[in-house]
Amino acid sequence: MFNIAIFVGSLCYGVVYFVLLRKRGKLSDAVIMLLLCGFIAGYNAPYIGKRWPTVEKLYNGLYTPLSRYIFSHLLSFNK
Amino acid sequence: MIVKEKITHLQLGFLLFGFIAGFESMFLTESKLMKQDVWIANLFNTAAGLALFWIISFVQRQFPNLNLTEICDKLLGRWFSKVLLCVYLLNNLETISGGFRAVSMFYTTVILPNTSSDYLIFLYAACSTYAVYIGLGTLARTNLVILPFFLLGFLVTCLFIIPEIQTNPFLPQLKSSLPNRLVGSMHLFTFTFSQVITFGFLMSRVENMKKIFPSCAIAILMTNIYLIMISYLTLSSLGFNYVQTSTYPFFSTIQMVKFGEYLERIEVLLVGLWTVLTLVYVAVMQYVFTLVAGHVFGISKMKPFVVAMGLLCFVHTSKSYIRTADHFTYGIKIYPLSSLLPCIAFPVLLLVMTLIKRRREVKSL
């Protein structure tokens, strides 16, 4: 319920401000707002929300090999 | 968000103290790793924090009319600067999410076990978004109001813990292993003064730029004295074994404080003040996130974006660090590495480019 409220709320916020900013002649701001709110809604969207990217997932993928090498091989640190 | 409001160098120094002191006393991971040698991490942290802060304030002093994002554009070129600022934004979002998750985890573990962590995170995100909306000046003044209460509460609590001290916990010295010393020092630095880059983005908003370094250097020293004090009190009153198994060792320490026969649970007052300071930490991070994102994406009017970015921080946190064990492992093994580029390499690169630019200007004269 809470997730759906955030999903719908962020989409509505994006669309409302897209229209308002476009009326004020700030097209690039309007497009960024729509994209940002769409991205936010994606986190709570049904089915795809769990697979939406987070910094934790990205950095786990990027840094785990390096971290494993430094902590396990160089420092022999296992905690 | 009020864009042009200025703050004083003292307010920035107090903000730096509140920023670190509120958040870092939570887990004391470095004390768990290094035990009696935790002072080594604190000494390293002081030196590294001062060096990093000097680098950033030096770069800022060379371009007094520009903010750090504009300095990056000038020194590194528009597109490379954008790439580096995006890496900083990712680190900032990672830190905000970690901060929100840490506070909600503390509350759901210790005080409100039946409350959903998502609701708590939403509440904190709403508070910090409001703080960003009302601006840096108000945030700095609020911090000035809270800090005396925090310091008074902390000092009184410390006085009442002193009777619990059995032995000197910093003896015998140098007994921890070298990897533990390295990891502990790196961990403490990452969670405290590696984030002084965030304060770099606020330096252009300070009235007297020349006094930024002295006042913030005092703040860095005071923060480290505070960290050494809480490590000493926690290790001496709880003992090494209890500190290693406790998730929130300093909280367990202040739980021992009692006034007289009936007045107990004094720690709740400190926890309240500590929560507000943690909110200051997250609000400063979110403020700078909004500022830098506005520059990177070329947003002309930031006001409508403040709520959207607050919402982004909330949803991102609600999907990050869900398992407590993963959060701890990430904090020890990934976060120190992922912070190297945006928090250490980035300021050093700016310093090198500033020196090169200065040398070229001197030659051309």
* Structure-model confidence comparison of residues B164 and B221, the more confident one: B221
- Mean pLDDT of the region B310-335: 92
Q: How confident is the model at residue B3 (pLDDT cuts 50, 70, 90)?
A: low
CA distance B237 to B253: 7
User: Would you call A25 an interface residue with chain B, using a CB distance cutoff of 8 Å?
Assistant: no
Which pLDDT belongs to residue B262? 66
Domain that holds residue A59: 52-79
pLDDT in tens, A17-48: 999 999 999 999 999 999 999 999 999 998 88
Q: Within a 13 Å sphere around the CA of B22, how many CA atoms are in the beta-carbon half? A: 29
A48-77 burial: b if 16+ Cβ within 10 Å, else e: ebeebebbbeebbeebeeebeebbeeeeeb
* Same-domain status, A6 and A33: yes
Identify residues of B whose CB sits under 8 angstroms from chain A CBs: 33, 90-91, 93-94, 97, 116, 118-119, 122, 179-180, 182-183, 297-301, 304-305, 307-309, 311-312, 314-316, 318-321, 330, 332-334, 337-338
B-facing residues of A in 29-58 (CB < 8 A) are: 29, 32-33, 36-37, 39-40, 43-44, 49-50, 52, 54-56, 58
In a domain, B35, yes or no: yes
- Selecting from A13, A28, A63 the residue whose C-beta is nearest the C-beta of B337 gives A63
pLDDT in tens, B20-56: 887 777 788 888 888 888 899 999 999 999 999 999 9
- Selecting from A13, A50, A71 the residue whose C-beta is nearest the C-beta of B333 gives A71
- Please, which residues bridge with residue B263 across strands? B259
* Same-domain status, A5 and A29: yes
In a domain, B157, yes or no: yes
In a domain, B359, yes or no: no
CA distance B175 to A79: 18
The alpha-carbon gap from A15 to the nearest alpha carbon of chain B, in Å, equals 12
* Same-domain status, A38 and A7: yes
User: Are A32 and B338 inside 8 Å of each other by CB?
Assistant: no
- Mean pLDDT of the region B91-101: 93
* Same-domain status, A64 and A42: no
pLDDT in tens, B57-90: 999 999 998 999 999 999 999 999 999 999 999 9
* Same-domain status, A64 and A40: no
pLDDT in tens, B171-211: 888 888 888 889 889 988 998 888 899 999 999 999 888 89
Structural domains of chain B, count = 1
Which pLDDT belongs to residue B261? 65
**CATH code of B242's domain:** 1.10.4160.10
Structural domains of chain A, count = 2
A71 secondary structure, DSSP code: I
In a domain, B116, yes or no: yes
* Same-domain status, A9 and A40: yes
* Same-domain status, A41 and A61: no
In a domain, B83, yes or no: yes
pLDDT above 50 (res B129): yes
- What's the mean per-residue pLDDT of chain B? 89
pLDDT above 50 (res B2): no
* Same-domain status, A62 and A42: no
* Same-domain status, A3 and A40: yes
ipTM of the complex: 0.94
Burial grade of B358 (CB within 10 A; 0-12, 13-18, 19 or more): exposed
Who's near B15: CB < 8 A, 6+ residues apart? Answer: B7, B139, B140, B143, B199, B280, B284
Choose, out of A21, A23, A54, A71, the residue to mutate when testing the contact with B (most B CBs < 10 Å): A54
Q: How confident is the model at residue B242 (pLDDT cuts 50, 70, 90)?
A: confident
The alpha-carbon gap from A54 to the nearest alpha carbon of chain B, in Å, equals 7
Burial grade of B309 (CB within 10 A; 0-12, 13-18, 19 or more): buried
- Please, which residues bridge with residue B206 across strands? B7
* Same-domain status, A58 and A30: no
Domain that holds residue B157: 9-354
